[in-house]
Structure 1
Amino acid sequence: MNWRHTVQEILPKVTAALDRSEVGGDDAARAYAQNVITEQVREHVDARSLAGKGVPDLAEERALAEAVFDEIFRLGSLQPLVDDPDVENIDVNGCDQVWITYADGSKTLGPPIADSDEELVEKVRRWAAYQGQTARDFSVARPRLHISIAGGQSRTRMGALMGVTPRPCLSIRRHRLLDADLDDLVYNGTLDRGMRAFLGAAVRARKDIVITGGMGDGKTTFARALAGEIHPDERIATVEKEFELLLHEQPDRHRDVLAMEARAENSEGLGAITLHQLIEDALRFNCRRIIVGEVRGDELVPMLEAMNTGGNGSICTLHADSADQVFQRMLILAGSGGLDIAADTLFRTIGMAVDFVVHLGHELRHDADGPVNRRYVSAINEVLPPGDTTEPAVNRVYVAGPDGRAVPNTIPQCIDDLIRVGFDPGHLTGHAWTGGRT
């Protein structure tokens, strides 16, 4: 049965009875909400009975209560799409334009998710208030929203806009590979077995790694897979704008994780917690490695300092069009973040702090046989202190082959460190030992 209109009748009474600040956390909020929803649904059913209208049976009443709960603590009518393992992105351009992109690159137009744009905005406001780590505002005063949402069988990242677009817009990105490791990336074709051995050794040898690529190239998934090579008992800090790495939700793989999420200022302009501050805090909480979901601005320098001092073996991601552009990209980020730092000073810091840059490629096209959607490693550079130029020197360990995928090119200067943790240099020379007699 379609409960959408009935749910919209009950929701105002439920949300009026909920005050997250008084409930005391997500688990308590949801338990309290379940009781409130049950009461409001019962009142609705009783009112219909007194008016001589048809009423749902007990099973339908429970389904109605679940639908109300979904509208607040999950994603309502979008939840089946979010739970679909084949769905990658959901883009909403107004209440009746719902575009669904699948993992294979195909795209379809889905059904409306609200009767009006005003109803769509109210949905997003509820989700922002009840579904994130902290409640977030979505209003005329704050028309931009970014939030990580847990619900159903998956985690999602949601962004929303209103006022600055002709119609309210919503984009949802599903985290499809929450438990991915390097072996999964081999299976998916992102890297080959030789590169898997190389990267695993780099993590175990506590090399600092920067993952670069464009939007949607799989940087977060790649960082999560690299982290799978860290010993389960090693203390890790994850620092993000919105929770996406989710290492703290994998206790079998990572038992000691300090997960930190930045916070925007409140309506009075107070209470903001930045990535810059959280990186500094991570070093004070005995974290051996720091993983930053995405470096975007003034957090760049403390991240580099962490790599150079107490956070050896740390990982971060940032947007860059190629591995060769990463240093200039870092310089731009430093400037956009308001950092007053000379280029040569920044480059020396990068050269001392970063060990490897791993660049990801992404091919998305539509052939006669259907869509093609492939992600892959296109280059791995070893980063060294500046030599003849102001920029850090680069040792191109893997370079793009004929099909864009990275192939071995040279031996890194830190090869002895990798060998000490079990790496076979034959993976780079084409003479890897595969077992048995020689």
Structure 2
Amino acid sequence: MGWEVVAQLRAEASSRLTARLEKEGSRLTDDEREQVGLAVIAELVRAESEERVSSGQSSWAPSQEEHLRQALYDAIFGLGRLQPLVDDESLENIIITARGAVVTVWLEASDGTLSEGPPVADSEDDLREFLADLGARQNRPFTEARPSLHLRLPGGARLAAASWVTAHTSVVIRRHRLVEVSMEEMVHVRGACSPALADFVSACVRAGKSIVVSGIQGSGKTTWVRALCSQIPSHEMIGTFETEFELHLHEMTGRHRIVHAWEHRPGSGEIGVAGRQAGEFTLEEAIHDSFRFNLDRQIVGEVRGPEVWAMLKAMESGPGSISTTHARSAEHTVEKLVSCAMESGPQVTRELAISKIAAAIDVVVYLQADTVTDPDGTQRKRRWVHEVLVVEPSPDAVMGYSATSVFRPDGTGSAGTAVATGEISDRLCRDLVRHGFDLDAYNAESTHTRPLNRGGGAS
């Protein structure tokens, strides 16, 4: 059954649903509205099936009717033709490009393989209309005046779209497959790091060190933040601050007892006298409000630009904050954050940005990703920790900070996998050992690259 049948019936189903809901008034909950919608869809499909028989056409099979009911439900309450793709557990990314009448869909599976997908719109205008409707549901306009769209989709996937300012309409939907991930899984199932590295970063979390997880796009930064957060004691009260919910710590009630989750809300309409759009709610405002919530930790999700100031305020105000950012190497992570801070205006000098960032960040965990081919020819995407840096302020007039590799690749393990270097200071050792750090295991791993650490490594 083609989508054109769904398109023909969607308007009628929406009209009937609107009329039914108007009779019910505003008393209904979202779940009750959905049940009304399901009833309306069932009635419409049954009526259309009977009409086909009356007009001499062949009747729909029960399976066709079920598919039609599901497609109408997806069109009204869900993501339309995208819904089956977003529901597909084997997919990690859905990439869509549209120019005129040509709409192309590529599907990236969790093993890194690409395949062409089914059409999700009839044209670029059709896709734009769908995206605008999707954005309107979350008060996030998508128009020629607001040509970019960032959304959290039902189920936790993240959508990014751009049009009018790009050569063609582009959409990428990222599905987060690993939500309730543990550090043990990162070591023993994913092979993302050694036990010694997992032990080190776990101790850093427990010791209240502020951590930035960095890497290129698709390297698994959000998954690693979730793994690090699994080491936060369950009694601690957590606040999360994100442009779109991706961490979902507030949904892991069995792991974290109390999580207050804030999400940025863009404004709409004209800019007021204060220079901002009505209804806008920023991460900076969320951080400010959160100081009345008795939080043990404030975790700012992704830092792409101005969010760096929310990250810094969280790191300066309490222990154990965790954030992510994009960077091309471990050492460039600090420089990337300095650039983000300086974008705020000429009043933020490089010296000021470095001094703030070097004083706030304790550890950088840098990730890499690649698609590898196994001996049997199977392709899979591999993600791993490439390097771990300890960052400290420094009197160096040029750099303004020091960055020491406590884990880095040395060629003895899997390609690119970080191993212990032994370059860890006495002060940091003492602090982490109090929080369960196994220094003997770290030293044992470091013997592959240098003599045993005696507590006096580089700082």
Provide the TM-score with structure 1 as the length reference.
0.87
Distance 2:33 2:148 in 1: 25
Q: Distance in 2 between matches of 1:12 and 1:140?
A: 25
- Post-superposition shift, 1:330? 1.4
1:89 aligns with 2:96: no
Query: By how many angstroms is 1:115 displaced?
Result: 3.0
Change (3 A) 1:255 1:160: same
- Aligned 8 A contact 1:235 1:286 in 2: yes
**Per-residue deviation at 1:160?**
1.9
Structure 1 residue 283, shift from structure 2 partner: 2.6
Q: Is the contact between residue 181 and residue 223 of structure 2 (CA under 8 Å) also seen in structure 1? A: yes
Q: Taking structure 1 as reference, are residues 232 and 14 closer, same or farther at Cα in structure 2, changes over 3 Å only?
A: farther
Q: Which residue identity does 1:418 align to in structure 2?
A: L
**TM-score w.r.t. structure 2 length?**
0.83
Q: Alignment RMSD, CA only?
A: 2.9
Further displaced range: 293-302 or 41-50: 41-50
- Answer with 164-173 or 321-330: which moved more: 164-173
**1:269-308 residue pairs with structure 2 within 5 A?**
269-308=277-316
What's the offset of the Cα at 1:53? 4.8
Name the residue aligned to 1:391.
400
Whether the 8 Å CA contact 1:3–1:64 is kept in 2: the answer is no
Task: Assess if the C-alpha contact under 8 Å between 1:182 and 1:225 holds in 2.
Answer: yes
Q: CA deviation at 1:78?
A: 3.2
Supply the distance in 1 between the matched residues of 2:27 and 2:417 (Cα, whole angstroms).
51
Residues 239 and 293 in structure 1, CA contact (< 8 A), matched pair in contact too: yes
Unpaired segments ≥5 residues, structure 1: 433-438
User: Which of the pair has more CA radius of gyration?
Assistant: 2
Kindly indicate whether the alpha-carbon contact (under 8 Å) linking 2:429 and 2:439 is maintained by their aligned counterparts in 1: yes
* d(CA) in 1 for partners of 2:27, 2:336: 44
1:111 pairs with one of 115, 118, 121: 118
Greater displacement, 211-220 / 140-149: 140-149
Which sits farther off after the overlay, 340-349 or 236-245? 340-349
| 2:387 is the alignment partner of 1:379 | yes
Instruction: Name the SS for the 1:79 alignment partner.
Output: helix
Secondary structure of the residue that 2:291 maps to in structure 1? helix
Please state whether the residue corresponding to 1:123 is helix, strand or coil: helix
User: CA 1:281 to 1:34, structure 2 compared with 1: closer, same or farther past 3 Å?
Assistant: farther
Q: Distance in 1 between matches of 2:315 and 2:307?
A: 12
Question: Which of 328, 348, 367 does residue 360 from structure 1 map onto?
Answer: 367
Change beyond 3 A, Cα 1:316–1:428: same
What residue number does 1:416 align with? 430
Structure 2 contact 338–357 (Cα < 8 Å) conserved: no
Which amino acid in the other structure matches residue 140 of structure 1? E
User: SS of the counterpart of 1:81?
Assistant: helix
- 2:394 & 2:360 partners in 1: Cα distance? 12
Q: CA deviation at 1:312?
A: 0.7
**Counterpart-to-counterpart distance in 2, 1:49 and 1:342:** 75
Could you tell me how far 1:38 is from its partner in structure 2?
A: 4.0
Percent identity, aligned pairs only, is 36
Give the Cα separation in 2 of the matches to 1:26 and 1:217.
Answer: 36
For residues 226-245 of structure 1, the aligned pairs below 5 Å read: 226-245=228-247
Task: Classify the secondary structure of the residue corresponding to 2:196.
Answer: helix
- Structure 2: gaps (5+ residues): 271-276, 447-459
Distance 1:147 1:254 in 2: 25
Superposition map of 1:253-272 within 5 A: 253-268=255-270, 269-272=277-280
Q: 1:427 corresponds to which letter in structure 2?
A: A
The residue number in structure 2 matching 1:404 is 416
